[in-house]
Structure formats: C-alpha cells, structure tokens
Amino acid sequence: MSVDGWNTVLVLGGIRSGKSEFAESLVADAPMVRYVATAADAPADDAEWAARLATHRGRRPETWTTEETADDPRRLADVVAAARPNETLLVDDLGGWATVLLDPAHQPADDTATIAELAAAVRACPARLVLVSPEVGLSLVPTTPLGRAFTDALGAANRAIADACDAVVLVVAGQAVWLKPGAPQAGAAAARSTPAPPAAGTVEAPGTPGPAPDVFTPATEPAGDAETRGGTETSDGGDWAAPTMALPVVATGLVIQAGMELPMPDEYAGPQAIERLATLDVAGAGLGVLERAVGFAAATQGTATPAPWHPVRVLLLHGDHLGDAAAGTVPGESARRARDARSGRGALARLAAESGAELEVVRAPASAPMEAGPALTGEQVEAALRHGWRLAEEAADAGVRLLVLGACGAGTEAAAAAVLVATAGAEAPAVLGRVVTGSGEIDDAAWMRRCAAVRDALHRTRQSPRSAKDVLAELGGGDVAVATGVLLGATARRLPVMLDGPVGVAAAMVSRDLAGQARHWCLLADHGGHPAVRLGADVLGLTPLLDLRLDLGEGANALAALPLLRSVLTLAAALPTHPALDGDGDGGPAADEPDFSEPEPAGPGPASTGPASTEPDFREPQPASTEPDFREPQPAGPGPTTVGPETEPVDPSGRRAG
C-alpha cells in the first residue's frame, strides 16, 4: 500500500472531486486488494448511473477481487471485522451504504446502532483499510425528509468512521488535504511529521515521548511506463543514485528474470579511499575495521571521499508466515509491532527518530504453511518482486542515500532458515535460533516445531527446481520475495542497502541467482548473534562491521550502529592530510622551533664569509689522535722536496740553481 503510517484511512470528498481515484491510488502498490462495493445495481431505466458504475469497475485492476454488500447494510461491518492482517480493503463508498441503510426494505432498523457497529469494526480492523465517503456537511440542508435523513445518517457515519480511522483526507478538486493526523499535505507528495520543539526553559519529564520518527508516505505511481521510470534522468539527490537500467517490459509489466546485468560499485574508488585513510591527520592508528565502511561507501558513491549517508530510509516488511514456522509466536504480536512503528512507538521508531531516518512499513503478502504446500503462488512472487523493485525506485527518486531493510512478521526466521538450507546446503537446527518467549524463557518445543516445519518443507520440495523464483514460491514467502525485489531495484539504481536480520540475508542469497551484482551493494552492520545471519554472511562474503550482538529487532540493530558509521564517514571526508605527508611543505622545522640537527662539515672553501657567530658552540672538541703512525715514508720524487725561505732549490747535478 502506498500510504504508511496509518492502518485505516477515510477519504472524503464531494461529487466528482476525485476521491475515488485518490483512494485507489493509495492501494495501487498492494499485491492484492479486496474492493468492497456498497452501491446497489443501477435501475434498468437509469443509463447514467449504470455508466458511472461501469467506469468504477473499469478502473479496477484484474488482480483485485470485488465483494458486494448492497443486499444487507450490516454485512459491511462483518466484512471489515473478518479481514485478515495480510489483506488490503477498499470500501467505496459509504454514501451507497447509507442509501441501502435507509432503504424501506431494511426498515425498521436502528441506524445509530448499525453505524456504531461499523465504526467499532473499523477501529479493530487488523487489515489495511481505505474507506471512501461523500462529504455532505458543506451542502445546503435538503428540502425533502428523505434528503435530510440521508445527510443526517451519512454525516453521523462520517464522524464515527473519522474518529475510528488513523487518518482522514479531504479531496477537493482533485487535491488532497490531510485532516488527520494533520502533518501530510498533498496526496502525491511525501508526508512527514515534525513535532514542535519544546519551549525554552522547559524540561521533559522522564518517560515523556521524544520526537516522532519521520514516517514516510510514498508518492503515488508517476505517470508513464516503466521504461521511462528506468531511464537516465538523475534524481535530486545527485548523480551517483541515478538509474542505470530499465527492466524488460512486456504486456504484463516489468519482468524480473535470472541473468540480469546490473551495475557494480566503483572498483577504484574503494581502494583509493582506504589508501587515503592512511594519510589522515589522526593521533592514533586510524579507524580500524571501520575502514571497510569507508571503502564500501566510496565504492557505492563512486568517490574516494564519500559523504555520510543522509537521508536514510528504513523499509520494515510486515508479512506473516502461517503454520509451524511461526510456532511460539504470540498471535497478533507482529501486527502490534507494525502498528507501533507506524505510530512512532517502539525501539525501531525511536531509533529512526534519533538518527533522522525515514520509516516505511511495507505490507507483504501472507505466506501459506510451507510444510504443507507452496508459500506463494507464482503470480504472487512476480507481484512481490515488482513491488519491492518499485519501493527501491521510489526511494532513489526521493534522493535517499541508504536503505535499511528489516522485517517483523511471524515465522520469518524459519522461512529465512529454509531459504538458507535450500541455497547454502545448511542444516535447519544449525541456522534456527532459539525461541524466546515474551517472558524471556527458552521454548524448546516451539524450536523443534520450527525445525520440523523446515525439514518437512525441504522434503516436500526435494524434487522441485531450485531456481530463485521457485525457492521464493515454495519456501521464502512474501516478505523474502519483497526484500529480494528491493535488493534488485536498489542495485539497478546504485543505492546501497544495509541488511539487518535473517530476511534480508535470505533475500541476498536468492538475489544472487537473479543478479550476482546485488550482494556487492549490501552492507551488514552486525550479525546480532543469529546463526542464519552468520552463515548467510559467510556465503555472501559480507563481513559484519561490528560484533555487538544486538538483538533489538530487525532494522533497529542497524539504526543503532548508523550514527557511528556516519561519524566515521564524516571524519574520513573532513580530516586533512598529515603535515608530514603534505606535498606542499618542505618537511623542515618551523622558524620558531630549535634546530637540533648536526652541523654540516666545512667544505674546501673558507668556513665563513660573514661576521663571526656570537652563539656559543656546545660541540665536544675532537681530541688529537695519540695513535702512532706506522705508514711507510714516501720516497722523494725527482722534483724539489721542499720550497721555503731556508732552502734553495738544487738541480740534479748538484749545482745550485743560479
């Protein structure tokens, strides 16, 4: 679904305001949508109303399912209450529902109780729910009793449903104005919530919630085909996040297939950045193992001086795995985690707020019990891969510099373990972590059930192909499939991804068979002590940067390490070269520093031509040599042996020179 941060949304608008089109755009990216139609069929003599209904039906994709509730107004509350957490519902609209409610065929009835029943179902609905309703509060009071009854009933319904929903948006002339929670502005723009700073001199009480995380509302799909979106235009964030390729396009849309040629990181920038670190002016030995983070950032950004990652977006995948893969999991726990993340509560949301990261909760399709049959159908795998690819494209178009990938669904660890067993030849007990209950106790019985589920799934598929899509359909399920699409789409857009947890590592294992370049764009901050992450990282050649053994939940571990990694990149980019290695200086002492160097020996010429030095000479005098000279005397040559005032030259004949 395109809107994250809210589980239920009410879309209000007048006649021909564009409210239905806007509501449909909110669920355009959902893998499957249940369209709940509330209006009764058009009378045989009303061609105009029949044309309107036909227009609505024509806009629905073939993958959507339609459910009619016009026969009984109470049935809508039953449909909403029975929706499962992995479903997405679009109800269009409450005006048709109110019309059926007031139909004499359904009277007498307690309209107030029926509206309250629907509002209660909306408030408790675990699915993603979008409701459309006409706004009647701006019109004149109708002149007929039936018109007044309709506006009163619909007005009361709108108030009750708006109070039950997480978000309310009013569409006027095709423009969306968010009324609740109030921070988002336009439906096609990113919406963020920034709290006001506390007043000067105020001190927050202990336990007072801090700033809310930057919950991201992705834009609706832009107009144009996939080839246009995958062209060569650069995003606002810079050239290194520019798209590099387009997926093959057929009549059904984008095609993700094995053997795709995706870009690799810059092979020269990384080593150059590591070499540059050795020249920085630091007091100690340097950055240690965190040099690898600088090398990774340099290679993915294409520069020897990489910038700190900002902005960062966290993709939290929420999709449950049914069957014994989720043994030991508290029912509804994963849905609660997802709701907490959307509303700014929990460890992940708090860390996202502290690090200034955007947070997007992504709905993934639920996975059937893998021990009994395929987790997904082939069509669901294709849709999930394309959905993940588009999530990465949206992030790159928004200028995001780093994606953090995590998951919070039930049974994700067992599904990731099954993928690792199938792709790396591991044993299920070796890659499945212990099951810890909410009270901190070890549940060995649940762990054995998970191991048995993986074993039975591998036995069931022992004759099945082991291609990437087959592994996703049989074992991986919805969240691993969406994560695989995210990794492939991010690779195509030169966008690095920080993995955190078994789901991301399992997706990286699967992505190798679709595009081997994807693993080179992945970074692992900490293995968290999880055996599946350890094995997958070893196979992928990913060395964790840290060994903190954090276990805060997928996504939260990476965000805890993010400030440290940003600080390392800041130092690497800002520190100057050490003066001793600076090519612009002569390396000699400064003018005001004493010179303790040895004096140069005097040459053959005069020792000094200027005035004598007035500085004392503290050099030790060289003692005269006391050793005897045993050298043989040199015989005199044919010429004069001495020339001096006491001797006269003598020629060889013995006569004095005249």
Beta bridge partners of 214: 358
CB 44 within 8 A of CB 16: no
Asked if 152 contacts 111 with a C-beta cutoff of 8 angstroms, the reply is no
Encoding tokens for residue 443? 């549940």
| Cβ pair 121, 81 in contact under 8 A | yes
Catalytic member of 358, 382, 394, 554? 554
Determine the angle formed by the axes of helices 556-574 and 291-301, rounding to 10 degrees.
80
Q: Is 21 a catalytic residue?
A: no
CA dihedral 558, 560, 563, 568 (to 10 degrees): -60
Tally the residues of the chain. 658
What secondary structure letter does DSSP report for 440? S
523 forms bridges with which residues in the sheet? 498
288 in helix, strand or coil?
helix
Angle between helices 477-492 and 378-397 (to 10 degrees): 40
CA 472, 474, 476, 481 torsion: positive or negative? positive
Number of alpha helices (DSSP H) and beta strands (DSSP E) in the chain: 20, 15
Residue 347: how many CB atoms within 10 A of its CB? 17
Distance CA 128, CA 518 (A): 31
Spatial CA neighbour of 307 closest among 577, 526, 571: 571
Cα–Cα distances in Å, from 375 out to 471, 473, 511?
10, 6, 18
**In one letter, which amino acid is 150?**
F
Q: Identify whether the C-beta of residue 587 lies closer than 8 Å to the C-beta of residue 580.
A: yes
Task: Of 501, 317, 542, give the one whose Cα is nearest residue 413.
Answer: 501
What is Dmax (Cα atoms) for the chain? 165
Sheet-wide strand order for 522-524: 214-215, 358-363, 312-318, 402-407, 497-499, 522-524
CA angle in degrees (0–180, nearest 5) for 517-518-520: 75
Instruction: Tell me which residues are annotated as active site.
Output: 554
